[in-house]
Chain A
Amino acid sequence: MFYREAGQYKTSYSADMAVFPIWQDRIGIAVILALAFIGVPLIGNDFFTTTVMIPFLVFSLAAIGLNILTGYTGLISLGTAAFMGVGAYACYKMTTIFPNVNIIVLILVSGLFSAAIGVLFGLPSLRIKGFYLAVATLAAQFFLQWAFVRVPWLFNYNASGAIEVPLRSVFGIPITGATASPETRYFVCLVLVVVLTWFASNIVHGRLGRSWMAVRDMDIAAELMGIKLLNAKLLAFAVSSFYCGVAGAMMIFLWYGTAEAADVFSIRLSFTVLFMIIIGGLGSLIGSFFGAAFIASLPTIMKFGLPAIGIPLSGATAEHVTFMLLGALIILFLIVEPHGLARLWQIGKQKLRTWPFPY
């Protein structure tokens, strides 16, 4: 009734090709952004901001990164965590070497290091495909994680081998380090994620994105149409790793604070992000957000939320119940809609258009 495009005429090609062609969608996105920028800081307490919202944003960005590679270009990668780790270590080294540079700039620049490493490990993708490529990227995971433990220069010869995030301020406000307030860290994460998502949206809807999708759907046909596979695949690796690298730097600098980073960026994290995009929806930006919310935030919300609304669960029981519920939900969603939550969202919108008189 309210959600339909009747009466909205497009008078130009650009209006027709807009990401949000219907004004109801544009209002929707404005409401979500308003909620994120104003609502969450107003109503959320420190616990909610630190353990639900910041992880959600970090994982969303990592999922977008992997989605560019796996969802849009069809190249399966198990090296996500390693590329995130490159971003984190690069950011750590740079903030040691250039202590006066704006930390937000450093977080973004660390993505470039990750992109370079990603291109390097993406070279085999020109020859190998599918599961074999997954195994090749697994090599990246193992090699880089090995380097994180064994190259003491990376963690400044720290005796405990951990990355210790120093205090860095922008305009006098602490952004990283222990004194940075959760709200500040949340805002920095949010701004980075919103801006980078907007970039990603433009990339995947543009020439580059279409060439990636052509490669995904049939690479020989894409080549015959004049798409250079070398460029398209390596660019996919570069952009994807850039996003993962920024997410990794955000993870350590804006969320964990101090961490045994080699342990954090383990193969388990790679799988977690892969599951996010499978559950969320391959080849969909909004699916990346759904997947991150489902895999990263829902367990936390269930574990601490269920006891808080009066369901008496504690300690290990809460953990076990969360595991079981989450497992059941994953199976349920995959049975109901094998193409992920993004597809469910799309179907929902379609149904809403004809509501209340479906035909």
Chain B
Amino acid sequence: MKKTTIMKGAALGALLAGSALVSPAMAQDSIYVANNAYRTGPFSGSGTPIGDGMRDYFTMLNERDGGIGGVKINFEECETGYDTKKSIECYEQAKSKNTVIYSPWSTGATLAAIPRAHIDKIPILSMAYGLSASADGGQFPWVFIPPLTYWDGASIMVRHMANELGGMDKLKGKKLGLIHLDAPYGKEPIPVLEALAKKYGFEVKLYPVAAADMQNQGSLWLSIRRDRPDYLYNQGWGAMNPTAVKEAIKNGFPIAKLVGVWWAGGDDDARAGGPEAKGYKSLNFNAAGSNFPVIQDILKHVVDKGKSLAPKEKVGENLYNRGVYNSMLVAEAIANAQKISGKKVVTGEDVRRGLETLNITEARLKELGMAGFANAVKIACADHSGHNKAYVAEWDGTKWTQKGDWMDPLKDEVRPLIEAAAKDYAEKNAGWPKRAEACEKSS
């Protein structure tokens, strides 16, 4: 055999051995936090700012406070490219490195991780995405979906519509169109909207967009012109959102009546419509902008020191801030876990308890430098989402602004649906375990 061949073989052997030894010795003086990100692939446009926000918040905590409770956070990003196969690899890596929490960052990755969470003892934080039914803590003790679910979002949309029309009774006879990605994610709001439509007497029209046609919505908008819905709710994703905004303008649909779910509220989504996109709305649960002490701290400790991957002008954009918000939830869960368990270096089981009793009040938000940045979040043992408030944001042509007050979802309508869906999930997945984890006394 030639020398080079032997070398190549040795290199490949070393690689194989390396990947078999992914779990290195754990440093006991730090907490390992695995985090999926998608800076590559078709959705990198929204994945990159989110990933930057999440990363920068933890870097800031490590730089400013020396971690959480004096323990450094070993934050590691795993690239998924929004691909389920790669997400599964990332989950396995996170598991082998004993992560205390797992943020899947795609519906597919969440669905794949949910059945494994209680076995591997890793709490899953799917922040306002994933499986709506997982808001039922009784069936899903290891899955958390704060601050609210897609079903809550759809109910807030109905509420927003009623507010503008002047009351729930004015909904009768109105038409709400739902533009949605023709995939599980896009179809999520349908059962809630249909239930609410029946109750309040409005009509729901569905406009599905196939994943392959995200940028080709011409025929869909022809039917929208024919049906003339009063409002449009956009459960869209990726390239679908700017296309919907552009098509609405092109087809003369009043842009102020087009409301996107929170994932349709990227700065680039709205910007694509040009000046006429002014008035485009989206649901939101975090504020955009950099006039918050927390963002200023990030700028001071991370961005100005050259430790961020984000360009300075992107810091404070809506999706960047949402990444910060996600990391804040993780950090608060860890801090809470430290408080409950009395340990400095917490485990996944402690963080699960920490999440379950998470209660971020307005006062706490102020301490975090997030007054006005987000609303209070409370999670309980039975309620793993909290059904917290959201608001309607409006694009003013250059940035997202808050329009109207924070609104509660129609929890009374949504909650029974969630419990029914959770029960259904447990029944269909034969052998789904009964909740064995005790509730905390304080919750």
Measured CB to CB, the residues of A under 8 A from B are 43-48, 50-52, 55, 99, 146, 149, 156, 158-162, 164-167, 177-179, 255-260, 262-264, 266, 300-306, 308-309, 314-316, 318-320, 323
Contacts and interface: CB of A to CB of B under 8 A. Distances in A.
Contacts of A99: 430
Interface in B14-46: 14-24, 37, 39-40
Given A149-B182, A159-B133, A166-B430, A257 B18 contact: no
Interface of B is mostly: helix
Contacts of B217: none
A34 B299 CA distance: 57
Contact of A316 (B79, B96, B119, B131): B79
Scoring B19, B81, B188 by chain A CB atoms within 10 A of each residue's CB, the highest score goes to: B19
Given A47-B22, A300-B89, A160 B184 contact: yes
B235 to A, nearest CB: 13
17 contacts: A99-B430, A160-B132, A166-B429, A167-B429, A167-B431, A257-B112, A257-B115, A258-B114, A258-B115, A259-B112, A263-B211, A266-B211, A305-B22, A314-B76, A316-B40, A316-B77, A319-B81
Contact of A263 (B84, B191, B424, B425): B84
B111 A52 contact: no
A266 B210 CA distance: 12
Contacts of B421: 159
Nearest to A157: B424
Interface of B: 14-24, 37, 39-40, 51, 76-79, 81, 84-85, 88-89, 92-93, 95-96, 107-108, 111-112, 114-116, 118-119, 131-133, 182-184, 187-188, 191, 210-211, 421, 424-425, 428-431
A45 B96 contact: yes
A266 B89 CA distance: 19
Contact of A315 (B16, B23, B37, B184): B37
Contacts of B40: 316, 319-320, 323
B19 A52 contact: yes
A308 B39 contact: no
Contact of B20 (A43, A264, A320): A43
Contacts of B107: 160, 260
A48 B115 contact: no
Contacts of B428: 156, 158, 164, 166
Contacts of B16: 301, 305
Contact of A304 (B22, B39, B84): B22
B84 A161 contact: no
A183 to B, nearest CB: 14
B22 A308 contact: yes
B116 A178 contact: yes
A259 B111 contact: yes
A340 to B, nearest CB: 18
Given A99-B430, A164-B425, A309-B14, A259 B108 contact: yes
A321 B106 CA distance: 23
A321 B138 CA distance: 43
A44 B119 CA distance: 20
Contacts of B210: 146
Contacts of A45: 20-23, 96
Contacts of B430: 99, 166-167, 177
Nearest to B134: A160
B184 A301 contact: no
B15 A260 contact: no
B77 A314 contact: yes
Contacts of A259: 84, 108, 111-112
B183 A161 contact: yes
Given A166-B430, A316-B79, A301 B15 contact: yes
B24 A308 contact: yes
A264 B116 CA distance: 19
A44 B23 CA distance: 12
Contacts of B191: 159
Given A50-B88, A160-B111, A316-B39, A179 B119 contact: yes
B21 A308 contact: yes
Given A166-B430, A167-B429, A309-B14, A262 B84 contact: no
Given A45-B20, A179-B431, A305-B15, A315 B79 contact: yes
A219 B2 CA distance: 43
A160 B191 CA distance: 11
Contacts of A303: 79, 89
Contacts of A262: 183
B177 to A, nearest CB: 19
Contacts of B188: 159-160
Scoring B92, B182, B421 by chain A CB atoms within 10 A of each residue's CB, the highest score goes to: B92
A316 B84 contact: no
Contacts of A258: 111-112, 114-115
A99 to B, nearest CB: 7
Nearest to B11: A309
B37 A316 contact: yes
